[in-house]
Amino acid sequence: MVDIDISWIADTFGSITPVLPMVLVIIGALLMPGIHLLLKRKNVTCAVSLAFVVVAAVFNVLLLLGHYTGTYYGLFTYDAFSGLMILLFQAVAFIAILIAGPSSETTRLHVGAFYSLMLIATAGMSFVATASDLLLIFVGVEMVSIPSYAMVAMKKKDPRASEAAVKYIIIGGLSSGLTIYGISMLFGLTGTTNIADIAAALATQGYTAGLVIALATMIAGYGFKIAAAPFHMWAPDVYEGAATPVSLFLATGSKKMGLVVYVKVFFVMFVTIQAAQPFMTESIQYVFAILAAITMTVGNILAIVQGNVKRMLAYSSIAQAGYMLMALAILSDWALTGAIYYMFAHVFMKGGAFVVVAALITAGVGETLKDYRGLAKRAPLLSAIMLLCVFSLAGIPPLAGFTAKFFLFSSAIIPGLGEPVSSQWIWLAFVAILNSAISLYYYAKIVKAMYIEKGESEEKVKVPVAFTVAAVLCVLGVIALGVYPEPFLYYCSQAALAIMP
């Protein structure tokens, strides 16, 4: 669509151009403790780390618009898919850092270390998005996980946070163990850790017990990162216990990283061997379809009974991951396009909701449905933003959630670009639509509390301006992606086509 000249970037940075967005963030992460030590100003540290993310994002957008593709010694590949995913992680980091500055939950933390960890985690996500080798992906995931454990545990005085951190570390360790076990089995079977080479090797091998164990442990291991049911138990506790900016980062960023891994490993692998191993591919497709159906149903049903908004949003994140997993079951370019679109819509709508939650906690309102009563009078703008975000999550037009669900669910009916209608996955679309109907119930409970019920206090809520800015940015994204999807859809389909072998 847009064509701009980016040859100057490649000329200036030479061989590191493909990893440039990642390297800039890592430099920021390394400098951050020092900067905080010298300046000792919390807001300055926050602003500097924000600046690093923005600069990295600007370069990334330029590379994306210039349709840049390149590889760093065969280890990292920058293409339309990884570029778009890096942009997503940068957007998440931007929102999280922007609200971490004024949030009351993060003021007592070790400020320099906190931003440094967040930037390392962001770089790790970009690492995963560009890596083309199973071991590199594993390293990238750990690069995100370990800072995440620390960020959750940083709220030392809060027993809920400590509990959350312990749970998170134990579950995280288990999932890493499972994953590396699966990778080693796969290496034993195929003699390589490069995804493309593994796919080529599997195309000639049939089903073996070792392969089944390898795939099962890897699906489970990364399933923990996505919080797909039945590997979701940790997510509500962690999201509830962590500081809200961290919850936002985990729910919108870390979860997407898990999905990116699924796409890079399983999607690519099985699309490649679909023709050679139809039975194996189809059985894996059904595994993912059932995983998706269970995840969305469990998430939505458990969300209904929650009284804590943060916890409710955590369960809703689980359900949303279920929708996005549909792409793995359908295994087509159009489904992947829809899933990528959904990931971005999810960043804005879930991000907006978490920003409002964080703002209200900082303002001393609280985080339960009871505290939200009568909020529309006390904080009209934040309530309106929350309303738009949860309606978008429920899939009410013309907001981003509806458009994204529309693209994704339609791929269950028309699997591929330019392909005819197929009836194989229509049941999955039915399950998804039914789930959207259920989800409206608990989202409406938030709206009802804010707009219909009367609260005890009438006092106006005052929040720092950074929250308002972050929330407005999110809601603009929700509306833009909902009303005018065409240009962005183009980049999503470019990304999907880039990853198709």
Partner 1 sequence: MFDEIFAEIPILILLLVIPLVGAVATLFMGGERQKYAKYVAGAFSGVTLVLAILLMFVDNTALLSENYLWIDAANIRISFILEMDGLSLLMVLLTALLVFLVVVFSASESDRPNYFHTLIMAMELGLMGVYLSADYFLFYIMWEVTLIPMYFMISWYGGPRRHYAAIKFFIYTHIASLVMLIGIFAVVFEAAAVNPGVIADFSFAAVNAASGSFGEVFQVLVFGLLFFGFAVKMPAVPFHTWLPDAHVEAPTGGSVLLAGVMLKMGSYGIIRVALNALPDGAIWWAEIILVVALISIVYGAYACIAQTDLKKMVAYSSINHMGMVMLGIAASLLYVKYAASPDASIAQIGIMFAVFQMFAHGLVTAVLFMVCGYTGHALGTREIPLLGGLAGKLPAYATFMMIGFMASLGLPGLVGFWGEFGVIFSFYVAAEAMGMIWLIVFCLLSIMLNAGFYIWAMQRTLFGRETTKIDLSHVHDVSKAEGFALAVLCVIIALFGIWPDFALGYIETFVANFAIPGV
Query: Could you list the residues that contact partner 1 (CB under 8 A)?
Result: 334, 337, 391, 396-398, 402, 406-407, 409-410, 413-414, 416-421, 429-430, 433, 436-437, 440-441, 444, 448, 451-452, 485-486, 489, 493
Compute the least distance from the CB of residue 426 to partner 1, in Å: 9
Decide: 9 and 63 in contact? Cβ < 8 Å: yes
Compute the least distance from the CB of residue 78 to partner 1, in Å: 24
Compute the least distance from the CB of residue 496 to partner 1, in Å: 10
Query: Is the peptide bond prior to 398 cis by the omega test (within 30 degrees of 0)?
Result: yes
What are the backbone angles phi and psi of residue 78, rounded to the nearest 5°? Answer: -100, 120
Tokens 């600069």 map to which residue? Answer: 55
Cα–Cα nearest to 257, from 103, 97, 160, 147: 147
Compute the least distance from the CB of residue 414 to partner 1, in Å: 6
Compute the least distance from the CB of residue 407 to partner 1, in Å: 8
* Comparison of 130 and 332: residue with beta carbon closer to partner 1: 332
Contacts of 396 (CB under 8 A, 6+ apart): 402, 440
* Comparison of 249 and 407: residue with beta carbon closer to partner 1: 407
Compute the least distance from the CB of residue 461 to partner 1, in Å: 16
The Cα–Cα gap between 359 and 464 comes to: 8
Partner residues linked to 194 by β-bridges? 133
* Comparison of 13 and 451: residue with beta carbon closer to partner 1: 451
* Comparison of 166 and 413: residue with beta carbon closer to partner 1: 413
Compute the least distance from the CB of residue 481 to partner 1, in Å: 12
The Cα–Cα gap between 101 and 115 comes to: 10
Structure-block tokens of residue 389: 């975000």
* Comparison of 45 and 300: residue with beta carbon closer to partner 1: 300
* Comparison of 144 and 336: residue with beta carbon closer to partner 1: 336
Compute the least distance from the CB of residue 273 to partner 1, in Å: 24
* Comparison of 5 and 458: residue with beta carbon closer to partner 1: 458
What's the distance, Cα to Cα, between the start and end of the chain in Å? 23
3-class secondary-structure state, position 276? coil
What are the backbone angles phi and psi of residue 133, rounded to the nearest 5°? Answer: -135, 140
* Comparison of 47 and 452: residue with beta carbon closer to partner 1: 452
Cα–Cα nearest to 228, from 324, 151, 340, 343: 324
* Comparison of 207 and 441: residue with beta carbon closer to partner 1: 441
For the CA atoms of 383, 389, 390, 394, the dihedral, rounded to the nearest 10 degrees, stands at 150
* Comparison of 126 and 439: residue with beta carbon closer to partner 1: 439
Cα–Cα nearest to 242, from 324, 301, 177, 169: 169
The Cα–Cα gap between 302 and 327 comes to: 23
* Comparison of 181 and 451: residue with beta carbon closer to partner 1: 451
* Comparison of 163 and 453: residue with beta carbon closer to partner 1: 453
Compute the least distance from the CB of residue 397 to partner 1, in Å: 4
* Comparison of 14 and 418: residue with beta carbon closer to partner 1: 418
Taking every pair of C-alpha atoms in the chain, what is the biggest distance, in angstroms?
69
Contacts of 95 (CB under 8 A, 6+ apart): 248, 252, 347, 351, 355, 470, 473, 474
Three-class secondary structure assignment of 145-169: HHHHHHHHHCCCCCHHHHHHHHHHH
The Cα–Cα gap between 203 and 319 comes to: 33
Cα–Cα nearest to 101, from 465, 381, 472: 465
CA angle centred on 372, ends 371 and 377, rounded to 5°:
120
Compute the least distance from the CB of residue 257 to partner 1, in Å: 26
CA angle centred on 254, ends 169 and 242, rounded to 5°:
55
Which residue type does 244 have? T
Tokens 């505290």 map to which residue? Answer: 371
Compute the least distance from the CB of residue 64 to partner 1, in Å: 19
